[in-house]
Amino acid sequence: MLTRRQFLRTTSVATAAVATADLSFAFRAPEMGRFAISLAEWSLHRALFKKEITNIDFPRLAKEHGATGLEYVNQFFKDKAKDTAYLADLKSRAEGLGLKNVLIMIDGEGMLGAPDDAARTTAVENHKPWIDAAKFLGCHAIRVNAASQGEYAEQQKLAADGLRRVGEYGASQGISVIVENHGGLSSNGEWLAGVMKMVGMPGVGTLPDFGNFRISKDVEYDRYKGVSELLPYARGVSAKTHDFDAQGNETHTDYKKMLDLVIASRYRGFIGIEYEGTTLGEPDGVKATKALLERHLQGYL
């Protein structure tokens, strides 16, 4: 458990780091327009898991889908975080296609809000090579999770401690650390916004996902309320889709209502297509999501 003394100690360290770090990296907009469309690699996860394609193919496929930014998933190049030859090849492919490497989504590297201090420290250390990889690729951020255990307030303190420690290293490398609502209490917008307030670092923010608001099997947080609560800290936005009606509307999320929230916020940057449905094939799902974004973001792209 995180003691009050430990919490106060890490808070003072973080405050000092923020005071000295160059935080110009914390907010980056596309060169043209208020928003641009990126592609989350998870949109192609079935083909990747079946090994029909590999991570090295991702830039080419994203270009074919009309995306201008790339959101990688570390699961698909898990052993390559320190492989500079591999990363150089990946970077060269993206740049050769005129694409921007936006972020890397990190999973499976431990709980940043683990109740055990040693486990939390291990998780922090496990994320550092991915920060280095993101910097090498020219990304602006890594996406992490804020998983923890225990009571509501205790989980906030634990997650804030882990995120602050990763954020300090990210700040030293010019890389933001952004948290997605991704199950458990992280899918409670009020809880995650509270964690952001506790961390208090410009380089630690959120990646609001339009669809990941299921806290448990029987409890789902209001997605519009949640996105509204997370947008003030946003350093990215994930446009999650599952199913579409005959008019091309997403059947679980009112995209006009959701994108109006994004437009009304101060966020500027990439909005990532993340198709997760099964009714359409992955290429068609990506295409349908892109068309939906373009329809509701006319004049902002």
Residues 183, 156 contacting (CB under 8 angstroms): no
Split at pLDDT 50, 70, 90, the class of 33 is: confident
| pLDDT, tens digit, 9 for 90 and up, residues 237-282 | 999 999 999 999 999 999 999 999 999 999 999 999 999 999 999 9
* N-terminal to C-terminal alpha carbon distance within the chain: 46
Q: Has residue 202 been placed in a domain? A: yes
The answer on pLDDT for 26 being more than 80 is no
Q: Which of 15-24, 44-53, 155-164, 243-252 has the lowest mean pLDDT?
A: 15-24
The answer on pLDDT for 43 being more than 60 is yes
Task: Name the residue range of residue 100's domain.
Answer: 4-17+34-296
Strand-strand pairing, 69-73 and 214-216? unpaired
The answer on pLDDT for 216 being more than 50 is yes
Residues 124, 162 contacting (CB under 8 angstroms): yes
Split at pLDDT 50, 70, 90, the class of 25 is: very low
Per-residue pLDDT averaged across 182-189, rounded? 97
The answer on pLDDT for 2 being more than 70 is no
Tokens of residue 232, six digits: 């003030």
Q: Has residue 98 been placed in a domain? A: yes
Q: Has residue 143 been placed in a domain? A: yes
Per-residue pLDDT averaged across 98-105, rounded? 98
Split at pLDDT 50, 70, 90, the class of 21 is: very low
In this prediction, residue 31 carries a pLDDT of 54
Q: Has residue 242 been placed in a domain? A: yes
Q: Has residue 232 been placed in a domain? A: yes
The whole-angstrom separation of Cα 238 and Cα 259 is: 11
In this prediction, residue 16 carries a pLDDT of 40
Q: Which of 26-40, 119-133, 162-176, 223-237 has the lowest mean pLDDT?
A: 26-40
Q: Has residue 25 been placed in a domain? A: no
Q: Has residue 146 been placed in a domain? A: yes
| pLDDT, tens digit, 9 for 90 and up, residues 49-96 | 999 999 999 999 999 999 999 999 999 999 999 999 999 999 999 999
The answer on pLDDT for 41 being more than 50 is yes
Compute the 3-state secondary structure of the chain and give helix, strand, coil in percent, each to the nearest 5: 50, 20, 35
The structural domain count of the chain equals 1
In this prediction, residue 111 carries a pLDDT of 98
* Higher pLDDT, residue 60 or 20: 60
Per-residue pLDDT averaged across 221-239, rounded? 98
Residue carrying structure tokens 């609001």: 208
pLDDT mean across residues, the chain: 92
In this prediction, residue 32 carries a pLDDT of 53
Per-residue pLDDT averaged across 28-55, rounded? 88
In this prediction, residue 27 carries a pLDDT of 45
Please classify residue 145 by burial: count the beta carbons closer than 10 Å to its beta carbon, then call 0-12 exposed, 13-18 middle and 19+ buried. buried
- CATH code of 243's domain: 3.20.20.150
The whole-angstrom separation of Cα 227 and Cα 247 is: 24
| pLDDT, tens digit, 9 for 90 and up, residues 126-151 | 999 999 999 999 999 999 999 999 99
Q: Has residue 92 been placed in a domain? A: yes
